[in-house]
Amino acid sequence: MKKQLITTVAAAAIAVSAVVPYNVLSTPVAHAEEQAKPNYKNRDEIPVEYKWNLEDMYKSKAAWEADVKKAEDLSAKFKKNHQGKIGKSALNLTNALKDYAALSVISDKAYVYANLSFDVNQSNSSLQALTDRAEKMSAKVSANTSWFKPEVVSIPKKEIERFLRNKMTAPYKYFIKDMIRTKDHTLTKQEEELLAKVSPLNDTGSGVYAMLAKDVKFPMIKDSSGKDVQLTRSNFISYMESKDRNVRKQAYEAYYQTLGKFQDSFSQTLTAQVKSHNIGAEVRNYKSALEAAVVPNNVPSKVYDQLISSVNKGLPLMHRYMELKKKMLGVDELHMYDIYTPIVEADETYIPYADAEKMVLEGLKPMGEDYVNTLKKAFDQRWIDVYSTDDKATGAYQWGSYGSHPYLLLNYQGTKDDVSTIAHELGHAVHSYMSSEKQNYFNSNYATFTAEVASTLNEALLWNSEYKNAKTKEEKMFLLNQRLENFRTTLFRQTQFAEFEEAIHELDQKGEALNAETYKKVYGDINKKYYGKAMAADEEIPMEWARIPHFYNYNFYVYQYATSFAASTALSKQITDEGAPAVKRVKDNFLTAGGSSDPISILKGAGVDMSTSKPIDQAMQVFEETLNEMEKLMNEK
């Protein structure tokens, strides 16, 4: 069971989505039939073809309730029949795994159905009750199965190796090995119980940050018309994108100067998280908090360091891009508050959903007829919930359960970004669909490290198609700028964050004091390194660490945005250069692989070895080619 939020939504607070330029006017795309933008007040007004068909999961509420009850009963039976017995023989372990899979398929399906139902109609109290019932079911299942992994891990090494040589365990071999892989970092039963009891304290820093961020009040600023407006966390980026440079400067200075007044509170909160990570790593016998965060996901820590090292080598290209931005904006000095403002005017012509569908299908043709047919199935068989209403969940995601097709939630507004979002979520959907068809339950669930590769690959292929079909200089410049900004906000910016995370954890591990001044010095130096001499040395930007929620809410997570982007960029280039052989590699070794092996091996089979610098180098090559093309068009008369 996997719920995939789109990258721009998941990272909304840390990575500004592609900026669309304003001082070069683009030519509107001519649509076959201009349509007014739909405005549905409630779900009943939306035509059925634009609403997902949850009857594919359950024909009735009674059928759903039967599965909820069945899942609870099966979980109790699972505990009764298997607890304390799985280490006695390969047969016992195999039977337990079969029953665990059967139970999970039912409970996952019931849980997903309830939440999908609620997400499109959140004002409906009966659907809220449905999700509450699903949560209780899930909690009961978890309680009855929580013993399972610890008991598998506790099987003596010689015994588990003997079990794995038995043919009956073959379908579950990787899953078992993955469970016991971190056995050396598993503590005694009493120690694990103690850690479980104090584990809620690990989230204290995250909770304090959420409250602190909510309670910080920002001052009034003047908008472009001279009117006093309230600056908030939610509208900050919109003011940073303003065409009026004075508005941008006001918002920027007011925002970070306000955060500076609370710098000691923010620093104490962040330090609590850092120390929690380092203590947890030490207790579990890891060399570092970084290793403790990535190794359980079966990713070597060298992949993290390789990313930082490789991106650092590509920083001269980033500096060159900043010089180009400075030139295109026509400013004497480039400041951090300038980089979000558009430099090519966006085409705001409404794109009807039918046209968006055609654009996506056309863009993803390089993936082959079978891939496109699966996309058509998603469109035609109502896997997608398209339009927004006031009580619908915001953003976009793909979700589903084993044995049922994926579902996509959209809030389609007819923009170019919305078209890209469709391609992105369909990437997740096809990945899930193909993995579930090929793999058993345990091996179908792909890792976070690979999750965003399929989705961003679709975005890259769609971009290639749009650029190929662009008719005017303005359209091309818009698309080139979009791609350059995607590189800046994803490959470079997320790696910048990753470098900061590693640096502050290492400082604490060495026993050095962590405080607001330390964080500002480390962050300011890294930011200066990434943006180069073209960027003015603003005194406010060293406080940006206080604005990034991922530093407080996650543990060495953001690097995966960068690695996924690099991997998909490299794969899209291979598909463009090689055609069918590259597509076959991606399908056979990645899209159908699920979690049947470690993520590095899966991506290597597809054609990208993330343990080396090659995928990053290939991505940098694409960035340089895009930069060359933009500079060429800029110089054309």
**Could you read off the pLDDT of 279-334 as tens digits, one per residue?**
999 999 999 999 999 999 999 999 999 999 999 999 999 999 999 999 999 999 99
Instruction: Give me the pLDDT at residue 341, please.
Output: 86
Domain of residue 98, CATH code: 1.20.140.70
Query: Is 213 a domain residue?
Result: no
Span 25-39, mean pLDDT?
A: 52
Give the three-state DSSP class for 535.
strand
Query: Is 318 a domain residue?
Result: no
Dihedral of alpha carbons 628, 629, 631, 635, sign: positive
| Residues catalogued as catalytic | 425
**How many domains in the chain?**
1
pLDDT of 485 strictly over 50: yes
Give the three-state DSSP class for 408.
strand
β-partners of residue 409 are 385, 397
Span 524-538, mean pLDDT?
A: 96
Structure tokens at 490: 């994803």
Query: Is 115 a domain residue?
Result: yes
pLDDT tens-place string over residues 367-412: 999 999 999 999 999 999 999 999 999 899 999 999 999 999 999 9
Instruction: Give me the pLDDT at residue 22, please.
Output: 27
pLDDT of 539 strictly over 70: yes
Quick one: pLDDT band at residue 17, thresholds 50, 70, 90?
very low
**Which pTM value belongs to this model?**
0.89
Quick one: pLDDT band at residue 31, thresholds 50, 70, 90?
very low
How far, in Å, CA of 391 to CA of 127, rounded?
A: 12
pLDDT of 498 strictly over 50: yes
Residue holding tokens 């006031």? 390
Nearest to 5 by CA among 377, 441, 421, 435: 421
Q: Are 619 and 565 in contact (CB under 8 A)?
A: yes
pLDDT tens-place string over residues 337-363: 999 987 887 777 899 999 999 999 999
Instruction: Give me the pLDDT at residue 3, please.
Output: 61
How far, in Å, CA of 448 to CA of 302, rounded?
A: 17
Q: What is the DSSP string of 312-354?
A: HHTHHHHHHHHHHHHHHHT-SSB-GGGTTS-SS--------HH
Instruction: Give me the pLDDT at residue 29, please.
Output: 37
Query: Is 365 a domain residue?
Result: no
Span 530-555, mean pLDDT?
A: 94
How far, in Å, CA of 361 to CA of 363, rounded?
A: 5
Q: Are 359 and 462 in contact (CB under 8 A)?
A: yes
Residue holding tokens 């080598």? 313
Q: Are 551 and 497 in contact (CB under 8 A)?
A: yes
Residue 222's φ and ψ, nearest 5 degrees, are -105, 130
How far, in Å, CA of 468 to CA of 465, rounded?
A: 5
Span 530-541, mean pLDDT?
A: 95
Amino acid at position 315, single letter:
L
pLDDT tens-place string over residues 99-128: 999 999 999 999 999 999 999 999 999 999
pLDDT tens-place string over residues 414-451: 999 999 999 999 999 999 999 999 999 999 999 989 99
Domain that holds residue 145: 57-186
Span 580-607, mean pLDDT?
A: 97
Round the CA-based radius of gyration of the chain to a whole number and report it: 25
Nearest to 114 by CA among 97, 100, 99, 126: 126
Quick one: pLDDT band at residue 32, thresholds 50, 70, 90?
very low
Query: Is 493 a domain residue?
Result: no
pLDDT of 85 strictly over 50: yes
Quick one: pLDDT band at residue 364, thresholds 50, 70, 90?
very high
Query: Is 478 a domain residue?
Result: no
Query: Is 392 a domain residue?
Result: no
pLDDT of 217 strictly over 90: yes
Query: Is 610 a domain residue?
Result: no
How buried is 68 (Cβ within 10 angstroms: 0-12 exposed, 13-18 middle, 19+ buried)? buried
Nearest to 507 by CA among 285, 295, 283, 278: 278
Structure tokens at 116: 């999908």
Residue 388 CA to chain centroid, in angstroms? 22
